[in-house]
Amino acid sequence: MEWKEFSAKTVEEAKKIASQELGIGEDDLEVEVLESESKSFLGMKKNNAKIKVKTNSFSQSHVLADKAREALSYILKFIIGEGNIEIQEREHEIYLNVICEDSGLLIGKDGNTLTALQFLVNRMVHKGEQAGKIISIDVGGYREKRKKNLEDIVDTLTQRALKIQKPVRVHTANIFDRWLIHNMLNGHNKVYTKSMGEGKNRKLFIIPSDLKDREEELLKEN
């Protein structure tokens, strides 16, 4: 959450206004006093206090988690009725795992329905604002298991790319898989990832870092 400014006759009143407008308890706000209340020259007029506030990171994570649970529960009512939602607040994501009998209906072919569900919940929660944490939706641990399988595949393909010193394509049409792989190799000191194409024709490659200057030439061969 970005800093927002509030003013009132006193600092305490400004805090209350900020708390009410943001719907967050005063104890969960980070407050910086920009101007304290004071009287002007000769005491003829009193100047208002001005503060800027934002939610602290711990509180913000809780707020996001509550909003995500509410949004997901609302959507589930139209698809399967109800489902038990487990929540984990992780360092870079809010993880929601749905436990239900109709898991296949929520996952869809290659996890595409689940990907669409995650996209929708993120749009509902963040409403176009820049957010520090993504909302990750899972069903019966499907994505956690998929992630572990992908880690093995990515490790094998990474070693192959380094051995043959060529870009290696990762064969997956799933948006979530591509996102996971990009994140797995983000910051890797020997390889990097590159996506090409649009829609169903989008391709993902793992490329040795030493070949970055020849990237365009090498990818044309694929």
Q: Quick one: average pLDDT of 130-151?
A: 84
Q: What is the pLDDT of residue 101?
A: 87
Q: What are the angstrom distances between the C-alpha of 40 and each of 12, 36, 44, 48?
A: 20, 12, 6, 10
Whole-angstrom distance, CA of residue 160 vs CA of residue 205: 12
Residue 32, pLDDT above cutoff 90: no
pTM of the model: 0.61
Q: Which residues contact 91 (CB under 8 A, 6 or more apart)?
A: none
Nearest one of 94, 87, 77, 98 to 131, comparing CA atoms: 94
Share of the chain above pLDDT 90, in %: 31
